[in-house]
């Protein structure tokens, strides 16, 4: 029996994460995702995925220092980015810049955590450098006194961001660090299974993430929120869309048959920020209205908010351009991808599925 797209096929054993779509749970190394977002920082969650346990104070300081020490782009990578076509999309720029990084250090087999840390540290700088270049603005170097997420926002805009925005984006980036054997993670593990280097595995993953069926930006949610803000009546807009048979962007998920645990974790964090940003407040109100109308008009479908819904609200609140959505997703998912490659390398078997020939014989 052929399973197109390998749906439902178990291709590897992992200690990294577990998803239960039926009851809506996501675990990183045995820790439920809502517990992680309540208690831990981006760096602590990354340490957990890379090393298999939570860091003590000294280990956390060491990781933060290592991430900060690897943020600077080599000059030749800056030159390459400067010479890329202006119309080149940002995901392709990231892929090219990461590929160029392979000339800077020895990324041979087997990969190590230090390589994972360096590549993860570079991506926000690549994004910020290219964004500022396209805007005709001076590049803003990273600051060693700012942690991963706060520094990313600082490099994009040149201002130390509001605490509410840092907390919201950090929660989102923790939630998108890792999500099982998705298409990009699988492509990274397939590349690594040939004993290719970590840079090659990451360029495979980035190229896969670029596809709109996987890493597509939540622009549809932004459009929904913009329309509701303009009309000033959430119930009318949502009810009309559902009655016309339009897909309500930000609701429902392919894996989760109930509440998306990442959306629930993000909502919990945003509840702490009620009153601090009008777009976050709007998103909270729209969710309540939409879930009620969907239950009324589509009973039994269990269409709840997914992580993209609140991600869109956060991106809108921090004034992040739509073309930065998938790159920002990529900046966090580098942790999960590299963790999977490190795991693949420890018990490696090359991936070699078969295809059924359906042509004719002459």
Please determine, for residue 31, whether its predicted confidence score (pLDDT) is greater than 90. yes
Question: Rounded mean pLDDT of 57-70?
Answer: 98
Q: Single out the catalytic residue among 179, 253, 259, 340.
A: 253
* Average pLDDT along the chain: 89
274 — pLDDT class (breaks 50, 70, 90): low
Select the more confidently predicted residue: 298 or 239. Answer: 239
Using CA atoms, how far apart are residues 130 and 326, in angstroms rounded to an integer? Answer: 15
Q: Domain-by-domain residue ranges, the chain? A: 17-212+322-346, 219-317
DSSP H stretches of helix in the chain: 33-39, 42-51, 57-69, 75-83, 90-101, 113-134, 148-157, 163-175, 183-193, 198-209, 212-215, 219-231, 234-243, 261-271, 278-297, 307-317, 325-346
**Quick check: is 253 catalytic?**
yes
Q: Determine the Cα angle at 138 with ends 135 and 140, to 5°.
A: 110
User: Whole-model pTM above 0.85?
Assistant: yes
**Quick check: is 179 catalytic?**
no
Using CA atoms, how far apart are residues 35 and 297, in angstroms rounded to an integer? Answer: 33
Decide: 220 and 278 in contact? Cβ < 8 Å.
Answer: no
Select the more confidently predicted residue: 131 or 106. Answer: 131
pLDDT digits (tens, 9 = 90+) for 228-266: 888 888 888 889 888 888 877 777 666 666 677 888 888
Q: Do domains 17-212+322-346 and 219-317 have the same CATH topology?
A: no
Select the more confidently predicted residue: 14 or 222. Answer: 14
Locate tokens 């869309």: which residue? 241
Pick the CATH number of 17-212+322-346 from 1.10.580.10, 1.10.1370.30, 3.30.70.1350, 3.50.50.60: 1.10.580.10
Locate tokens 């969907």: which residue? 294
Q: Single out the catalytic residue among 178, 308, 340, 343.
A: 308
- Say if residue 238 is exposed, middle or buried (CB neighbours under 10 Å; 0-12, 13-18, 19+): buried
Quickly name the fold that domain 219-317 has: Cytochrome p450-Terp; domain 2 (1.10.230)
Cβ-Cβ contacts under 8 Å for 243 (sequence gap 6 or more): 297
């Amino acid at each position: 029996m052929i399973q197109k797209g390998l749906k439902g096929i178990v291709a590897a054993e992992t200690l990294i994460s577990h998803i239960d779509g039926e009851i809506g749970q996501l675990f990183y190394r045995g820790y439920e995702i809502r517990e992680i977002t309540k208690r831990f920082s981006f760096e602590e969650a990354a340490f957990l995925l890379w090393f298999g346990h939570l860091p003590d104070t000294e280990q956390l300081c060491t990781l933060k220092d290592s991430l900060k020490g690897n943020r600077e782009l080599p000059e030749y990578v800056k030159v390459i980015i400067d010479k890329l076509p202006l119309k080149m999309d940002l995901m392709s720029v990231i892929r090219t810049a990461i590929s160029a990084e392979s000339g800077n250090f020895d990324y041979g087999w087997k990969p190590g955590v230090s390589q994972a840390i360096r590549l993860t540290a570079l991506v926000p700088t690549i994004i910020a450098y290219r964004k500022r270049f396209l805007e005709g603005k001076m590049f803003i170097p990273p600051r060693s006194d700012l942690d991963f997420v706060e520094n990313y926002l600082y490099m994009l805009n040149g201002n130390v961001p509001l605490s509410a925005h840092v907390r919201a984006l950090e929660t989102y980036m923790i939630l998108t660090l890792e999500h099982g054997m998705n298409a990009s993670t699988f492509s990274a593990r397939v590349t690594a299974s040939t004993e290719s280097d970590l840079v090659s595995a990451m360029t495979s993953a980035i190229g896969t993430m670029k596809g709109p069926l996987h890493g597509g930006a939540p622009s549809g949610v932004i459009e929904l929120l913009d329309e509701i803000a303009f009309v000033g009546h959430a119930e009318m807009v949502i009810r009309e869309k559902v009655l016309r048979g339009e897909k309500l962007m930000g609701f429902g998920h392919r894996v989760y048959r109930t509440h998306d645990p990442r959306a629930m974790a993000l909502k919990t964090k945003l509840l702490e920020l009620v009153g601090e940003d009008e777009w976050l407040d709007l998103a909270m109100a729209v969710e309540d209205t939409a879930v009620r109308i969907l239950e009324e008009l589509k009973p039994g479908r269990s269409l709840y908010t997914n992580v993209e819904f609140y991600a869109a609200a956060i991106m809108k609140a921090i004034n992040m351009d739509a073309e930065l959505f998938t790159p920002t997703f990529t900046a966090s998912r580098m942790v999960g991808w590299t963790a999977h490659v490190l795991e693949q390398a420890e018990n490696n078997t090359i991936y070699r599925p078969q295809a059924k020939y359906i042509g004719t014989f002459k």
